[in-house]
Structure 1
Amino acid sequence: MSPETGPEIVVIGSVNLDLVVTVPALPQPGETVLATSYDEFVGGKGSNQAIAAARLGRDVAFVGRIGDDAAGTAVRAALADEGVDVARLSPTPGEKTGRAFVQVDERAENSIIVASGANSRLSADDVDGAAPCVRDAAVVVAQLEVPLDAVRAAARLAHGTFVFNPAPARRLDPELLGLVDVLVVNQGEFEVVTGEPAAEDAASMRVAVARTDLPGSVVVTLGARGALVWHDGELHSVPAPVVEAVDTTGAGDTFVGALADALARGEALLDAARWAVCAASLSTLSLGATTAMPRSAQVAELRALSAS
């Protein structure tokens, strides 16, 4: 990253240590199952999205909080190794770094429990302290694994495209949603955030999105089925290529990071979504949220094959 130009993308968000077990099937309440494997990875929605964008070639800066523990040192080093600027990833005395406990079954379905730790201490003051790079970034990305006040500060400071992935989902006020340029949600999140029920078919979804009266664009991710893009009063379907998924844990975050990458390069939203579904598909090919996050050449190859 050039000090004269600053980062292309700033991500405000969470960083965790992910503890991942694979199981034959996700356990039912009261059931004990034996894992077939166990591993640890860097995770957190913010960290995942930052790594996804950095692997695709963008200059990315991260604003967040870690604990004053060994996990914090490890995740900070892992982000730096990916080329992410961690100057604004602050240690938090007396707090533990966030953890995510991830179960993945043989069908690549997962369940996740998050202990926020230091992520819950990220404040509007932290974001305001990063104001110069937030203002100058082509794209600013935020999620909801950090306090809402930090997200609001980012939205107000952003002069570029503000991409908001409100997960874990909650109902949001019109003032914040009015600052969002691109809202990225899955179907369940769409219903929680907007109060409008998500629909399975494109025609009904067009009505649902139009009824929200959101000023920005909306991207609804559909997993293996791709995404729907609402932009300038039109709804477009973006199918995903077919792959043999191993672990879908980081697919949504890869989508957001790749979308930010394409938007920072000046791609139109619909083309950015096509790029993002290919990146997300590739990210499911290995265990762990970030392990299979692709490089630009890989996404370009899959996109070309999908278009042929």
Structure 2
Amino acid sequence: MEYNKKQTHIAIGNINIDFISIIEEELKPDFNVVAKDVWIGLGGAATNYAIAVSRLNHKAKLIARTGEDIVKYGFLDKLKEEGVDVSSVEISKEKPGMVMIIVNSKKSTRTMITARNANKGLRLSNEKIDGDHIHFSSVDPDLIKYAKYANKTKTISYDPGGEACYNKEKIINNIKYINWLLINENEFSCLDLDVNKLFKNYGLEFIAIKKGSKGAEIINKNKKILGKIETTINQIDPTGAGDAFNASFNIFYKSTGDINEALKYAISAGSAKVEKLGSSNMPYLDEIESKLKFVEILHY
């Protein structure tokens, strides 16, 4: 395994200030609910991904656009402390992206209220993007085509997030620029893809579909692989679990070339994340490795 070889991952997407409330009661109009726990901190899929990469002892650079409050409240310094390169983060006078997240721990449900604000103005233009891997997270699919300005980057992945449910045609038109698609089960349903056509016409290597507590599935033109974890998970906060999955999958797939090994690490990472409160509170390597023995990989 070449895991110790340092990779540089470029994360392109959003920076948010996230407000998370953990509740145990159902929300009702004009009804006061007492939070079991709260968390305020950094969020945004690309931000979470960059922190996850850094906590796995690799290099992360974030390309994003945000508001001055991110600097004012010390969040940019927090990213630097995490080891993330923020030299390509554009600071505007707009409000930063903000997300209110309500997690019902008893029902295992999550509600997100998002204000994208400065995130909406992200433009890549002719920016040179160099690294071992580029990961696009929850961005307008038209931005993916700017990956052609990447001089030495070998691989590119995309997790469309909510874009999958209202930008289907744009995503399909830009899939030709990426190597693999990482997506959750609901968003994959929104795309309603002809998978065979996708592999034949667009050169996509594979699709990784995240299924929450049911594990994850890899689909390519020759086979399907299912991975699931067989142990009790103490779910506290699922926010960011998909980003932990993405970062671990990309790192270990690039390190080993073994899709089974990468899937095991990715599922372990997602499971480790849900046991931690906070969108960007990504797991460390030892937390991920402690769950590897519980992951089962099936081919069908």
TM-score norm. by structure 2 comes to 0.85
Provide the secondary structure at the position in 2 that maps to 1:40.
strand
2:227 touches 2:296 (CA, 8 Å); kept in 1?
no
Aligned equivalent of 2:182: 184
Q: What residue identity is the alignment partner of 1:34? A: V
Structure 2 Cα separation of the partners of residues 82 and 96 of structure 1 = 23
Aligned equivalent of 2:144: 151
Provide the secondary structure at the position in 1 that maps to 2:273.
helix
Structure-2 change in CA distance of 1:113 and 1:54 (3 Å): same
Structure 1 Cα separation of the partners of residues 15 and 32 of structure 2 = 28
Give the counterpart of 2:215 among 215, 221, 226: 226
Equivalent residue runs for 1:99-248 within 5 Å: 99-107=98-106, 108-125=108-125, 128-129=126-127, 131=128, 134=129, 136-144=130-138, 146-154=139-147, 157=150, 159-168=153-162, 169=164, 170-173=167-170, 174-193=172-191, 195-196=192-193, 209-210=195-196, 212-213=198-199, 215-216=203-204, 217-242=206-231, 243-248=233-238
Structure 2 Cα separation of the partners of residues 60 and 139 of structure 1 = 10
CA displacement 1:13-65 (0-9 Å, x = unmatched): 1010101112223425x353413233202101110111111111111111011
- Deviation beyond 6 Å, 4+ runs, structure 1: none
Using the TM superposition, name which of 229-238 and 271-280 deviates more.
Answer: 229-238
Q: CA deviation at 1:71?
A: 5.7
Provide the secondary structure at the position in 2 that maps to 1:239.
strand
Q: What residue identity is the alignment partner of 1:279? A: A
Structure 1 Cα separation of the partners of residues 215 and 229 of structure 2 = 4
Aligned equivalent of 1:86: 86
1:283 touches 1:294 (CA, 8 Å); kept in 2?
yes
Aligned equivalent of 2:58: 58
Q: CA deviation at 1:143?
A: 1.8
Q: What residue identity is the alignment partner of 1:25? A: E
CA displacement 1:47-88 (0-9 Å, x = unmatched): 011111111111111101120225665221121111111111
State the aligned residue count.
282
Q: What residue identity is the alignment partner of 1:175? A: N
CA displacement 1:123-178 (0-9 Å, x = unmatched): 022xx32x1xx2x322110022x344433313663732111001112303433111
Provide the secondary structure at the position in 1 that maps to 2:146.
helix
Q: CA deviation at 1:236?
A: 0.7
Structure 2 Cα separation of the partners of residues 290 and 185 of structure 1 = 18
CA displacement 1:225-269 (0-9 Å, x = unmatched): 110001342111111243121111111111111112213424323
1:53 touches 1:60 (CA, 8 Å); kept in 2?
yes
TM-score norm. by structure 1 comes to 0.83
Q: What residue identity is the alignment partner of 1:27? A: L
Q: What residue identity is the alignment partner of 1:236? A: I
Q: What residue identity is the alignment partner of 1:167? A: G
% of aligned pairs identical?
21
Structure-2 change in CA distance of 1:27 and 1:209 (3 Å): farther
Give the counterpart of 1:294 among 259, 280, 283: 283
Structure 1 Cα separation of the partners of residues 256 and 73 of structure 2 = 35
Gaps of 5+ in 2: none
Q: Which is richer in strand? A: 2
Q: CA deviation at 1:184?
A: 0.8
Using the TM superposition, name which of 94-103 and 295-304 deviates more.
Answer: 295-304
Structure-2 change in CA distance of 1:244 and 1:6 (3 Å): closer
1:124 touches 1:149 (CA, 8 Å); kept in 2?
no
